[in-house]
Each structure stands twice: as structure tokens, then as C-alpha cells.
Amino acid sequence: MLSKSISESAKETTKWLKELNWKKILLVGLIYTVFTTVIRQLEVVLTMKYYQMSQYFGVWSKLMMPNAGPPPPSFMIMSLVFTLYSGISLAVVYYYIRNLLPKLFWKRVFFFADLMIAASFIFFTLPCYLLFNLPPQLLLSWFISGFIILVLTSLALVKIIN
């Protein structure tokens, strides 16, 4: 009996995946990557002092900061790949829940954005504050830039994916 339900679930998932418009999902992923890259670069310029404080050097990954100085090109490449993947993931989540969202354009935009912002706050910002020795101002900056990115991405999602 269990194998039958797993089999049925696999068929439903396969059917759902075939219904997705992967061109639109990739487009949203690319748009998200552009939004994120531009906004995060502006944010880094505004918060550079925190990245240069020696007491926080141990916090940054070896990929981002193998030694003092700017991140190497490999970090930027990995960052772009991860960001594209994140944008694609957001689009797939949107596809998954879009029938549960309000039908009016702006309500849909902000409802989805609110869900993603709340998830980001709960699963990223709060744990970072509890687990890592980071200045609260930097976490606030990350949250604000993430907020802007998610609102803009939600706008793109609702506009591109009906």
C-alpha cells in the first residue's frame, strides 16, 4: 500500500514538473540574479567598514575571504551561481503556491513577498543573530537589502508567471 502511494506521488510530481514553464522560471532566476547582485553590491559599499573590522575576519568563509582584501573571482562566480539557483528556487516555490495567493496583482505581489521575507527573517536573520558574532547593523542591512530584493522579485514573478 505504501509503495502505491509513493508511486502515485511520484507520478503527480512528474506531471507537475512538466507543467512548469522553465523558460519563465529561468528568466525570473536571471532577473533575481541581477537584482541581487546590484543591490548587494550597493549594500557592500555602504557597509564595507564591517567587512574590514579585524574582529570579524574569522566569520567570513575562506571562499569569500581567503586572506585580507577583496574576494577573489572564484567567490563572485560561485555567488552568481548560487544566486541564480536561489532565484530559480523562488520561482518554483511561487509556481507551487500561486493558486493559493490572492488574485489581485499588488496583493499577490506583496503576499508572496511577505511570505518570503518572513521565511528569510525566521530561517536566516534570527539564527545568524543567535549563532554568529556579527554586528547587528550588518544583519539589519542584510535584512533590508533582502527585503528589497524579495519585493522586486515578487513583482517580477507575478508579472512574468501568471
In contact, 154 and 113? CB cutoff 8 Å:
yes
pLDDT at 83: 98
The answer, as to whether pTM is greater than 0.95, is: no
Residue range 66-116, pLDDT digits in tens: 877 788 899 999 999 999 999 999 999 999 999 999 999 999 999 999 999
pLDDT at 2: 58
In contact, 154 and 116? CB cutoff 8 Å:
yes
d(CA 121, CA 7): 36
| C-alpha cell at position 17 | 514538473
How would residue 161 be classed by pLDDT, with cut points 50, 70 and 90? very high
What are the structural domain ranges in the chain?
22-160
Identify which has the larger pLDDT, 4 or 66.
66
In contact, 69 and 124? CB cutoff 8 Å:
no
By three-state DSSP, how is residue 116 classified?
A: helix
d(CA 34, CA 21): 20
Residue 3 has pLDDT above 80, yes or no: no
